[in-house]
Structure formats: C-alpha cells, structure tokens
Amino acid sequence: MPGLPRQRLRLGLDFDRDGRWTLGAALVAAGASYYRGDEPNQASPLPGYAVLSLRGSWRLSDAITIQASAQNLLGAHYSTFGLYGDPFGLGVPGVPSDPSGVDPRFQSPAALRAAFVGIRVRL
C-alpha cells in the first residue's frame, strides 16, 4: 500500500535512577515505502530510515524539574512521505514548461537534528 512501509519498529527504554534522574532513548525504524500515485509499486520506493533520540530529566525538587532531549541524534536525512504530482501549469519559477526531464515525485522531508531544554514548574 503506497505511503505505508511494510516494516516498522519502535523501541523505547527509560531508566529511573532514584526518582530524581531519568534517562531514556527511543529508536524508530521504517522500511521502504512506495509513493502515493504508484499503486502498482512499479517505481523505486522511498528508502527506509532509522532515527535515534535521547531524553533526560533531573528533578531538583517536588516543584522544579529540568528536562532535555535530542532528536535525530545521528542526523539522518530521510523523507516520511512521497507522492507523484504534476508540477506543470502552476507558474512556479524554475519549473520548465516542457515535462521531459522533470521528476514528478514530491517528498516530505523529516526534521533534522534538534535539541530542547526546558524547566517544568508545578505550583
């Protein structure tokens, strides 16, 4: 079925040291998926991917917790969705009016590396 990988794996692991420190990791892996519009699966698919993320928190008191996370830690470049479309007739600069040699595939790229730090305050 286009847009859905045949294989998908999600793993998560969290370690709570003493109720104050928490460390965790998540791995998401997906196999190749076909473009929407290629229902007979004749063209080459989007390649599979694997993404690793880490997270942690430190509870300073009952009211204050510091949290941090790093997503896509290994910097994987991948797309989560693809479809065949017709870019002609839209009047977009850079798209030639002659369809020969133009790739009609569109991809939805995923987020690159990101890191977040935050403080949670409970009143």
Q: What was the pLDDT predicted at 96?
A: 64
C-alpha dist (Å) from residue 19 to 13, 50, 60, 99: 16, 30, 10, 61
pLDDT string in tens for the chain (123-residue length) = 777 898 999 999 999 988 899 999 999 999 999 999 888 888 899 999 999 999 999 999 999 999 999 999 999 999 999 998 876 666 666 666 666 667 788 899 999 999 999 999 999
In a domain, 98, yes or no: no
Q: What is the DSSP code string of 7-76?
A: -EEEEEEEEESSSSEEEEEEEEEE--BPPBT-TT--SPPBP-EEEEEEEEEEE-SSSEEEEEEEESTT--
In a domain, 64, yes or no: yes
DSSP 111: P
Total domain count, the chain: 1
In a domain, 1, yes or no: no
Q: What is the DSSP code string of 59-78?
A: E-SSSEEEEEEEESTT----
In a domain, 13, yes or no: yes
Range of the domain at 72: 8-87+104-121
Q: What was the pLDDT predicted at 20?
A: 93
